[in-house]
Chains A and B, each alone.
Chain A
C-alpha cells in the first residue's frame, strides 16, 4: 500500500486569476457591482452625476463673457438657460479687491505673497534657508520696482543683486557641500524667522500705506521695552524691569510715537500712498479680517488656555467665563456689537473705523476658539513632559516656553488651521452689517442698473473662491497632521 500516493508531490503551476477579478472588469465587479444594492446605488449615482454635470455645463458654457449688461446676455443666450459671465468680467476686480485703488493692487498681492514666505519658517522648515532668502529677496525686489522712483529702483537693484547672489550660491553648491562648509565654520544665512517677525509690521503698512515711519515707530516700542528691561534689570531687579518693559512701550505708543513719526516724516519723508480701510472689500477684506484676527488671537488664545489650566482660581474663572461666553453666542451678535455698540463702550469721541471694530470682535471670537484648540494641545502632551520640566527645576514660565508650548503648539497646528478656515468662512457674516465682503458686494453689484437680477453667476464665483482657499488649506492641514502623527496605529 505504500506506493499509493494521494498527495500531490509537485506544486501546480500558478494560473492567471479569472478574468472577472482582474483589470477594469474585476475592479468594477468588486467595487461597483457586488450585490444588487450596490449595483443599484452605482447606477443611480452615475445617473445623478451625469445629470448634474450635464445640467451644470449646459448652464456654465455660455458665450457671454463680453456682455456689458444683463440685457446683452439675454440677447446672446436668446431664450436658453445660460450663465451671464459678463458680470464677472466687469466686476472680478471688485470681488477680489473691493474698492482698493486699481493702480495699487500690487500692494495687497505683495503682502499676500510675503505672507506665504513669512509662514514657511513658522510652519516647519520645508525649504532650505537659502531658498527662503532667495524667494524673499526676489519678491521684495519686484515689490520695490513697483514703488517706483529712484529710491525704489535702486532698492530693487540691490535686492535683485542679493537674490541673484543667493541664487547663484544655491545653484553652485549642493546641499552636502553646504553642510560641510557650515561644519567647517562658514557663516550661515540669518534665520528667516527674522522676516516672519517683521512681517506683521510690514503687511499692514503695505495694505494701509502711509508713512514708512509708522511701522518703524511701532517696532521701536518693542525695542525700547526690551532695552529698558536689559538696562534696568541690574539696577531695579527683574520684576521692576519686567514691569518697565511693559510700561515703556505703552507710554511710547500713547504719547511719543505719533509726534516722533511726524518729526521723522518731516525730516525724511518716506512713504506710500495711504488707503482708507473703507476701500477694502471683496476677498481682500475677508482675508485681512481672517489673517489679522487669527494672528492676534494666537497669543491671546495661549494666555487664555494657560489661564484655564491654571491653579489660580480667579484667573481660571475669568478665563473660563470669557471662553464659554464667546463660544456660547453666535458671531453675528458679536458683529452687531462691533457695528452698533463698540463705539459706545469707548470714551466719548473715540472712533474706530468699522473694519477695525470688526477685526477686534473677530479677534475676541477667534481667541476663545484658539484657547480651546491650544488647551487640546496641552492636554495631549504626556504628563511626563510636565514632570520632566519640573524635575529640571524650571519655573512655570520657563517650562512653558522651553518644553510645553513648543510641543503643544506643534500638536495644535491642524486645529489652528481649521480655526482659521472657520473664521475665514465666517467673515462672510460681515455682509449682514453692511461691509462689502464678496457676499456683500454681490448685493451691491446687483443694485447697479446694469446687473439687476443677476444671481447665480456671482454666487458660483464666490463659492469657488472660498472653496479654493479653504480646500487647499484643509488639505495642507491634513498633510501636516500626517507628518505630525508620531504614534503608530
Chain B
C-alpha cells in the first residue's frame, strides 16, 4: 500500500488552491453554485417586484379574506357566495382530495384486475385487456376527461325525461337511484334522532362540521370489528392447542352487527331518496356529472398504467413459485392471491406510488369539465376575479407540492413496511 500525500506541503494558502486543490475545490464549486443560484433568485424577485410595482399590484395575500362572490356546485362543506376566497379554495382542495382518493381506489382495483386478466390464458380476454391498456395509455388524459364528460352528457337522460305521465326514463334499482346527465342521485343516509354536528374552527374560513352520528356509528362499528377479530384470534389459539376449531362465526357476526344496528335504530336511521322536484331531483346525494366524468376518466387512464405495472410485477416472480404452489395443491386462483401477488407487491408498489401522484396531479385537469377543484377555484375563478396571478399560483403550487410530498411520504412508509426484510 502506498500512502497518498498531497503534493503541496510547503507554502501557505494560495488563491489558486481553491480551484486546483481537491480539498477546497468542492467547497469552491458549492459556494459558486450557491452564489449563482441566489443571484438568479434575487434577479427574478427583483424583476418581479419591479414589474408588479409598475402594474400597481404589490404582492399581498389580503385578497384571500375578501368575499369570493361566486358559487360552487360540488361541495363537501357549507358555502355561499358571500364566503371568502380562502373558504372557496379550501372547498376546492377538499374536492381535489375527494376525486384523488376515489380515483386512486378505483384505478387500483381496475388496474389489478386488468393486469391479472392480461395474463389470462383466455385469448380473447387477454387481447381485449391489451387493447384497453394501449387505447388508454396512448391518448392524452385530457381528451379522455373531455370525452367522458361528453358521454355522460349525451348518453344519459336529462331530468326532464323523468317527468310526465309516461316518462322517457325511470329511476333504477327499485326507484332509488336516478342516473341523469347532471349526475347520479343516490339515496343518502339520514338520522331522525340526529345528535347534531361538532363545529370545528368556529366561523372562520376553515370551519368544518363533523357529524356526531357518523362518529358514533364508526366508533361502534370499528369496536365491533376489533372485538370480532379478538374472538377470531382466540379461536385460532384454541385450534392450535386442541386441534378443534370452535364455531365462532355467529358470535363474531353478532358482535359487529348487533351494536351497529342498535346504534342505527337509536339514531333513527333512514334513507333519503332522490325525488323529482322542480327543475332537479331533490334529496339524496348528488354526484355531479363533472365529478363522475373526471373520476372515471382518471381511473381508467391510470388503471391502464397500473395494469402494466401489475403485469410486470407478476412476470417478475419466477415461474418456480407458481410451480411450487401447484405442487402444494393450490388452485390457480389461490396461487395468484396467496403466492404470486404478495410477492409481486414489492415490485409493484414503488411505481404504483408515482402513478397515484400522477393521478392526483392530473386531477387538476378538472378545470376542463368544470369540476371545482382547487385549480378551478383558487387557480381559476379566484385568480381571474382578483387578478392576483402571482399569489394564487404560488399558493396553488404549494398546495399541490404538499399533497404530493405527503402521498409519497405515506406510501414510502407503507413500502418500507412491506419490504422484504433483507439481511
Point out residues on A near B: beta carbons under 8 Å: 30-32, 34, 38, 41-42, 45-46, 48-49, 239, 311-315, 318, 324-325, 327-333, 336-337, 340-341, 343-348, 421, 425-426, 428-429, 431-432, 439, 455-456, 459, 462-463, 466-467, 470-471, 474
* Contact assessment for B138 and A42 in the assembled complex, using a CB-CB cutoff below 8 Å: no
In the bound assembly, the distance between CA atoms of A432 and B52 in angstroms comes to 25
Closest CB in chain A relative to B370 CB, distance in Å: 12
B26 is contacted by which of A312, A329, A456 (Cβ under 8 Å)?
A312
A426 is contacted by which of B26, B48, B140, B368 (Cβ under 8 Å)?
B140
Question: Which residues of B lie under 8 Å from residue A455 when comparing CB positions?
Answer: 150, 154
Categorize the interface residue count of chain B. 35 or more
Tell yes or no: B137 within 8 A of A by CB. Answer: yes
Tell yes or no: B128 within 8 A of A by CB. Answer: yes
Please name the residue on chain A nearest to B361 by beta carbon. Answer: A330
Question: Which residues of A lie under 8 Å from residue B54 when comparing CB positions?
Answer: 348
Closest CB in chain A relative to B393 CB, distance in Å: 5
Question: Which residues of A lie under 8 Å from residue B137 when comparing CB positions?
Answer: 470, 474
* Contact assessment for A336 and B142 in the assembled complex, using a CB-CB cutoff below 8 Å: no
Please name the residue on chain B nearest to A48 by beta carbon. Answer: B128
Tell yes or no: B47 within 8 A of A by CB. Answer: yes
* Contact assessment for B368 and A329 in the assembled complex, using a CB-CB cutoff below 8 Å: no
Q: Mark B35-53, 1 if CB is under 8 A from A, else 0.
A: 0010000001001101110
* Contact assessment for B400 and A31 in the assembled complex, using a CB-CB cutoff below 8 Å: no
Which residues of chain B from 12 to 64 have a CB within 8 Å of any chain A CB? 19, 26, 29-31, 33-34, 37, 44, 47-48, 50-52, 54
Tell yes or no: B362 within 8 A of A by CB. Answer: yes
In the bound assembly, the distance between CA atoms of A471 and B134 in angstroms comes to 7
Closest CB in chain A relative to B149 CB, distance in Å: 11
B368 is contacted by which of A340, A343, A421, A432 (Cβ under 8 Å)?
A432
Question: Which residues of A lie under 8 Å from residue B362 when comparing CB positions?
Answer: 330
Which residues of chain B from 137 to 152 have a CB within 8 Å of any chain A CB? 137-143, 146-147, 150
Question: Which residues of B lie under 8 Å from residue A474 when comparing CB positions?
Answer: 134, 137-138
Sampled A-B contacts (26; CB under 8 Å): A45-B124, A313-B30, A314-B34, A328-B357, A328-B405, A329-B397, A329-B401, A332-B365, A333-B393, A336-B383, A344-B51, A345-B47, A346-B47, A347-B47, A348-B47, A348-B51, A348-B54, A421-B138, A429-B365, A432-B367, A456-B150, A463-B139, A470-B137, A470-B139, A474-B134, A474-B138
Question: Which residues of A lie under 8 Å from residue B140 when comparing CB positions?
Answer: 425-426, 428, 439, 466
* Contact assessment for B121 and A34 in the assembled complex, using a CB-CB cutoff below 8 Å: yes
Closest CB in chain A relative to B116 CB, distance in Å: 13
Instruction: Given the known inter-chain contacts A333-B379, A459-B147, please indicate yes or no for A467 contacting B125, CB distance below 8 A.
Output: no
Mostly, the B contact residues are helix
Tell yes or no: B95 within 8 A of A by CB. Answer: no
Question: Which residues of A lie under 8 Å from residue B393 when comparing CB positions?
Answer: 333, 336-337, 340-341
Q: Top 7 A-B pairs ranked by shortest CB distance?
A: A470-B138, A328-B404, A330-B361, A425-B140, A330-B364, A314-B30, A340-B389
Question: Which residues of A lie under 8 Å from residue B146 when comparing CB positions?
Answer: 439, 459
Please name the residue on chain B nearest to A30 by beta carbon. Answer: B121
Question: Which residues of B lie under 8 Å from residue A311 when comparing CB positions?
Answer: 26
* Contact assessment for B121 and A315 in the assembled complex, using a CB-CB cutoff below 8 Å: no
Point out residues on B near A: beta carbons under 8 Å: 19, 26, 29-31, 33-34, 37, 44, 47-48, 50-52, 54, 121-125, 128, 134-135, 137-143, 146-147, 150, 154, 357, 361-362, 364-365, 367-368, 375, 379, 383, 389-390, 393, 396-397, 400-401, 404-405
B364 is contacted by which of A239, A333, A348, A425 (Cβ under 8 Å)?
A333
Closest CB in chain A relative to B317 CB, distance in Å: 12
Closest CB in chain A relative to B395 CB, distance in Å: 10
Instruction: Given the known inter-chain contacts A313-B30, A328-B404, A328-B405, please indicate yes or no for A341 contacting B397, CB distance below 8 A.
Output: no
Closest CB in chain A relative to B314 CB, distance in Å: 14
* Contact assessment for B143 and A315 in the assembled complex, using a CB-CB cutoff below 8 Å: no
Question: Which residues of B lie under 8 Å from residue A459 when comparing CB positions?
Answer: 143, 146-147, 150
* Contact assessment for B122 and A31 in the assembled complex, using a CB-CB cutoff below 8 Å: yes
* Contact assessment for B125 and A45 in the assembled complex, using a CB-CB cutoff below 8 Å: yes
* Contact assessment for B400 and A330 in the assembled complex, using a CB-CB cutoff below 8 Å: yes
Closest CB in chain B relative to A321 CB, distance in Å: 10
Instruction: Given the known inter-chain contacts A32-B123, A330-B361, please indicate yes or no for A425 contacting B141, CB distance below 8 A.
Output: yes
Closest CB in chain B relative to A246 CB, distance in Å: 13
In the bound assembly, the distance between CA atoms of A429 and B361 in angstroms comes to 13
Closest CB in chain B relative to A277 CB, distance in Å: 22
A344 is contacted by which of B33, B48, B143, B150 (Cβ under 8 Å)?
B48
In the bound assembly, the distance between CA atoms of A341 and B143 in angstroms comes to 26
Question: Which residues of B lie under 8 Å from residue A38 when comparing CB positions?
Answer: 121-122
* Contact assessment for A329 and B361 in the assembled complex, using a CB-CB cutoff below 8 Å: yes
* Contact assessment for B389 and A336 in the assembled complex, using a CB-CB cutoff below 8 Å: yes
* Contact assessment for B143 and A466 in the assembled complex, using a CB-CB cutoff below 8 Å: yes
Closest CB in chain A relative to B178 CB, distance in Å: 25
Instruction: Given the known inter-chain contacts A312-B29, A466-B139, please indicate yes or no for A329 contacting B125, CB distance below 8 A.
Output: no
Interface centre among B29, B33, B379 (most CB of A within 10 A): B33
Closest CB in chain B relative to A43 CB, distance in Å: 9
In the bound assembly, the distance between CA atoms of A312 and B393 in angstroms comes to 32
Question: Which residues of B lie under 8 Å from residue A329 when comparing CB positions?
Answer: 361, 397, 400-401, 404
Question: Which residues of B lie under 8 Å from residue A429 when comparing CB positions?
Answer: 142, 365
Question: Which residues of A lie under 8 Å from residue B30 when comparing CB positions?
Answer: 312-315
Question: Which residues of B lie under 8 Å from residue A333 when comparing CB positions?
Answer: 364, 375, 379, 393, 396-397, 400
Question: Which residues of A lie under 8 Å from residue B31 when comparing CB positions?
Answer: 314
Please name the residue on chain A nearest to B57 by beta carbon. Answer: A344
A318-B33, A459-B150 known; 18 new pairs, CB 8 Å cut-off, are A30-B121, A32-B123, A41-B122, A49-B124, A314-B33, A315-B30, A328-B401, A332-B367, A332-B379, A340-B389, A343-B51, A347-B47, A432-B365, A432-B368, A439-B142, A467-B135, A467-B139, A470-B138
Question: Which residues of B lie under 8 Å from residue A343 when comparing CB positions?
Answer: 51
In the bound assembly, the distance between CA atoms of A312 and B33 in angstroms comes to 10
In the bound assembly, the distance between CA atoms of A30 and B120 in angstroms comes to 12
* Contact assessment for B367 and A463 in the assembled complex, using a CB-CB cutoff below 8 Å: no
Question: Which residues of B lie under 8 Å from residue A314 when comparing CB positions?
Answer: 30-31, 33-34
Please name the residue on chain B nearest to A322 by beta carbon. Answer: B37
Question: Which residues of A lie under 8 Å from residue B383 when comparing CB positions?
Answer: 336
* Contact assessment for A31 and B121 in the assembled complex, using a CB-CB cutoff below 8 Å: yes
Please name the residue on chain B nearest to A239 by beta carbon. Answer: B19
Please name the residue on chain A nearest to B138 by beta carbon. Answer: A470
In the bound assembly, the distance between CA atoms of A175 and B401 in angstroms comes to 57
Closest CB in chain B relative to A421 CB, distance in Å: 8
Closest CB in chain A relative to B268 CB, distance in Å: 43
Interface centre among B26, B122, B135, B401 (most CB of A within 10 A): B122
Closest CB in chain B relative to A489 CB, distance in Å: 8
Question: Which residues of B lie under 8 Å from residue A336 when comparing CB positions?
Answer: 379, 383, 389, 393, 396
* Contact assessment for B124 and A46 in the assembled complex, using a CB-CB cutoff below 8 Å: yes
In the bound assembly, the distance between CA atoms of A328 and B364 in angstroms comes to 12
Question: Which residues of B lie under 8 Å from residue A463 when comparing CB positions?
Answer: 139, 143, 147
Closest CB in chain A relative to B114 CB, distance in Å: 13
Question: Which residues of A lie under 8 Å from residue B405 when comparing CB positions?
Answer: 324, 328
Please name the residue on chain B nearest to A350 by beta carbon. Answer: B47
Please name the residue on chain B nearest to A473 by beta carbon. Answer: B138
Please name the residue on chain A nearest to B316 by beta carbon. Answer: A489
B143 is contacted by which of A42, A312, A439 (Cβ under 8 Å)?
A439
Please name the residue on chain B nearest to A372 by beta carbon. Answer: B354
A330 is contacted by which of B29, B51, B154, B375 (Cβ under 8 Å)?
B375
In the bound assembly, the distance between CA atoms of A311 and B30 in angstroms comes to 10
Question: Which residues of B lie under 8 Å from residue A42 when comparing CB positions?
Answer: 122, 124-125
